[in-house]
Amino acid sequence: MHDVDKYGIARVMEMALQAVDPEGKRPLHLSFDIDGLDPIHAPSTGTMVTGGLSLREGRYIAEAMAETGRLRSMDLVEVNPSLRPEGLDTTVQSALIIIKAALGHTLTK
């Protein structure tokens, strides 16, 4: 979160993509842990940490991956209704927003 706060999520994604695929040619996999989001957006998970990513930042990560045209696979993990069932609807809605963004849905599309 320090780098997200310092540089912003767009720059962090640019740096991450450059680090894992400097030539911009490789197929990509996105592994998204829902507990990386602030608990206000994903309360039904095992490891809640206040100060995590906003839902918009999480969505941006998925959008940036989709925009590369090289995203080939994705997993979204850590949704755990058995630990906190009262927050399941919020967590699932956040997960769906991120998954849809990875499939190319944007705020304008």
| Residue 90 placed within a domain | yes
- Segment 25-29 mean pLDDT: 97
pLDDT value, residue 77: 95
Domain interval for residue 80:
2-102
Query: Which CATH number covers residue 79?
Result: 3.40.800.10
| Residue 75 placed within a domain | yes
Cβ pair 65, 28 in contact under 8 A = yes
* pLDDT beyond 60 at 70: yes
pLDDT value, residue 43: 94
* Structure tokens given for 28: 């990509």
Cβ pair 4, 18 in contact under 8 A = no
| Residue 68 placed within a domain | yes
pTM for the whole thing?
Answer: 0.92
The CA distances from residue 81 to 33, 44, 45, 54, 100, in Å, are 14, 5, 7, 20, 21
| Residue 6 placed within a domain | yes
